[in-house]
Amino acid sequence: MNIGILEYDKEIAYQLTEVINENCPHIQVKVWEQGSSLKEDISSGGLYKILFLSLEKNPMEIIEYSRRLQDLHPDVKIIYITELNDTVFEVFHSTPTYILSRPLNIGHVKKALDKALHELSLSKEKNFTIINKQGIYTIPYTKIYYVESDKRKLNIYGEEGLVKTINLKISDFLKYEHGVYFLQCHKSYAVNLMHISQLEKYEIVLENGMKLPISQSRYMDTKSQYMDYLENE
């Protein structure tokens, strides 16, 4: 995956590149100092999943280009960098993932990057596939509400209740690349964070009304991870 940065200020471009390299060392970063260079690169086949775009020069032109780009490639995530002025209201003619203000706050840059990566992970729905003697069974991870460890078996639950029982440890299930966030709140339960309706002390309430226990030793970590998830939503 590639990330592109349109930024006229070399110091800001450097700061953005540093944050990306620190958090995503496997990702390639391309920096442009002119909007024309950005357009030429993309017109020549350059593919970028996340774009940091400065609105310092020709803001309306950049916003309109972003809108057209997202019409062609809806999965492209746009993060604008702008002053707090009237331009802020114009950016919503496109669909930005985040708006960064100058001077840059590194913490906000990291949040913007995390949010864009999270949205990209959700845009490609992944399936959990079970292959056994009975055949092949596939369920999207987003449809799984939680899983329950039952000795050496794993019970998979959806909105309506039990979906499937398979031979798998809960620890092995959590190693899969889901594309969504599962959190082990108890030694016997792992919950899909996107289906949590309410988090109470030592109990999770799901969208379908189902309640799951939170072990005392995992409560603070469960609360912290759920808060991080909400901030990136």
The predicted-structure confidence for 142-180, as pLDDT tens digits, reads as follows 889 999 999 889 999 999 999 999 888 888 888 775 556
Instruction: Based on the fold, state whether residues 104 and 150 are members of the same structural domain.
Output: no
Are 76 and 180 part of one and the same domain? no
Any residues with CB less than 8 A from the CB of 154 and at least 6 apart, and which? 147, 148, 165, 166, 167, 168, 169, 170, 173
DSSP code, position 105: -
Does 103 sit behind a cis peptide bond, omega within 30 degrees of 0 on the bond before it? yes
Mean pLDDT of the chain: 85
Cβ burial of 79 (10 Å; 0-12, 13-18, 19+) is buried
Q: Which carries the bigger pLDDT value, residue 143 or residue 94?
A: 143
**Tokens encoding 32:** 């442009």
* Contacts of residue 223, Cβ cutoff 8 Å, sequence gap at least 6: 199
Domain containing 168: what range? 127-231
Q: Is the pLDDT of residue 93 over 90?
A: no
Beta bridge partners of 101: 82
What's the rounded Cα separation, in Å, for the pair 149 and 156? 9
One domain, residues 75 and 164:
no
Q: In terms of domains, do 26 and 98 share one?
A: yes
Tell me: do 118 and 9 sit in the same domain.
Answer: yes
State whether 119 and 132 are in the same domain.
no
CATH code for position 114: 3.40.50.2300
Q: 5-50 pLDDT, tens per residue?
A: 999 999 999 999 999 999 887 788 999 999 999 999 888 878 888 9
DSSP string, 7-46: -S-HHHHHHHHHHHHHH-TTSEEEEESSHHHHHHHHHTT-
> How many separate domains does the chain show?
2
Answer with the one of 95, 123, 151 that is the final residue of a domain. Answer: 123
Domain stops at, among 63, 91, 123: 123
Q: Could you tell me if 224 and 138 lie in one domain?
A: yes
Are 191 and 207 spatial neighbours (Cβ–Cβ below 8 Å)?
no
16 and 77 assigned to the same domain: yes
Do 46 and 101 have their domain in common? yes
Answering whether pTM is above 0.75, one says no
